[in-house]
């Protein structure tokens, strides 16, 4: 069994959480992987469901485009589309993915052993649940994702899979949230229009570079 370490939320963020961040932040997070306790920056979540071919293509494009520009990609390991984005990011660039598990990090091996192996070698795996706890807390995982991410991209959703809730959590924390343009064409895209009404923006193939520039201005990040 790989060692699992505890880290404070201050160490993950590189600062003390403020305002609404402090309300949403767990005091301790558990992690394993070669990146170490500080999550790579900039960190952009690429999330969504279901795993339909157009959505997979969009998630793969977003993850690859971000990784090529020096960003790390985050996702919750319980959503198949998030896992696609994590795999693509790690295949594109070293140390480029942060997986957030709703269950203790050891438990991921039963769900997706290949993803856990990849994150151990080339990323970071986080969980709000203590080791050996047995607790599965999807809401806590999505809250942690929203807290750590510099921005959130929602590729698709059923409206009930947790992705809109994670996006709303990010909006409450002042993070940029972008919804992939094709999501608005789905007959069940009420969730996408609702997010847009709450401040999310539409994303197309021209939108990654402006997003990276925005994150650079916000945090003074230099890109390779």
- What is the DSSP code string of 149-200? -SEEEEEE--SSSSHHHHHHHHHHTT--EEEEGGGGGSTTTHHHHHHHHTT-
Report the DSSP pairing between strands 151-156 and 43-48.
parallel
CATH of domain 5-219: 3.40.50.450
The pLDDT score that the predictor gives to residue 194 is 95
Q: pTM for the full model?
A: 0.91
Residues 131, 106 contacting (CB under 8 angstroms) = yes
Residues 77, 100 contacting (CB under 8 angstroms) = yes
- 10 Å Cβ neighbour count for 37? 16
Asked whether the CA dihedral 158, 56, 80, 166 is positive or negative, the reply is negative
Report the DSSP pairing between strands 5-8 and 28-32.
antiparallel
Please write the tens of the pLDDT for every residue from 107-164: 654 567 788 778 877 788 888 888 777 777 888 899 999 999 999 999 999 888 889 9
The pLDDT score that the predictor gives to residue 76 is 92
Task: Tell me the two tokens of residue 166.
Answer: 């994670």
Question: Between 106 and 172, where is the model more confident?
Answer: 172
Q: Is the pLDDT of residue 38 over 70?
A: no
Neighbouring residues of 57: CB distance < 8 A, sequence distance ≥ 6: none
Residues 93, 68 contacting (CB under 8 angstroms) = yes
Minimal CA–CA distance to 169: which of 149, 190, 155? 149
Task: Tell me the two tokens of residue 209.
Answer: 């570079």
One-letter-per-residue 3-state SS of 10-56: HHHHCCCCCCHHHHHCCCEEEEECCCCCCCCCCEEEEEECCCCHHHH
The pLDDT score that the predictor gives to residue 175 is 94
- 10 Å Cβ neighbour count for 197? 8
Please write the tens of the pLDDT for every residue from 195-211: 999 999 999 989 999 99
The pLDDT score that the predictor gives to residue 106 is 64
Report the DSSP pairing between strands 177-180 and 201-203.
parallel
Q: Return mean pLDDT, the chain.
A: 86
Minimal CA–CA distance to 181: which of 208, 160, 147? 208
């Amino acid at each position: 069994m790989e060692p699992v370490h505890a880290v404070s939320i201050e160490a993950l963020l590189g600062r003390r959480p403020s305002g609404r961040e402090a309300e949403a932040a767990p005091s301790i997070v558990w992690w394993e992987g070669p990146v170490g306790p500080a999550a790579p920056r900039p960190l952009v979540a690429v999330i969504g469901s279901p795993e339909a071919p157009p959505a997979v293509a969009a998630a793969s494009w977003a993850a690859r485009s971000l990784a090529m520009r020096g960003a790390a990609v985050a996702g919750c390991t319980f959503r198949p589309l998030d896992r696609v984005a994590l795999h693509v990011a790690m295949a594109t660039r070293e140390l480029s993915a942060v997986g957030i598990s709703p269950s203790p990090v050891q438990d991921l091996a039963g769900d997706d052993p290949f993803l856990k192996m990849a994150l151990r070698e080339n990323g970071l795996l986080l969980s709000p649940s203590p080791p050996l706890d047995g607790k599965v807390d999807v809401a806590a995982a999505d809250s942690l994702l929203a807290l750590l991410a510099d921005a959130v991209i929602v590729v698709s959703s059923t409206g009930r899979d947790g992705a809109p809730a994670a996006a709303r959590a990010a909006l409450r924390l002042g993070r940029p949230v972008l919804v992939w343009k094709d999501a608005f064409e789905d007959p069940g895209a009420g969730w996408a229009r609702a997010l847009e009404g709450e401040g999310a923006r539409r994303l197309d193939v021209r939108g990654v570079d402006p997003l990276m520039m925005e994150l650079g201005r916000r945090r003074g990040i230099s890109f390779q």
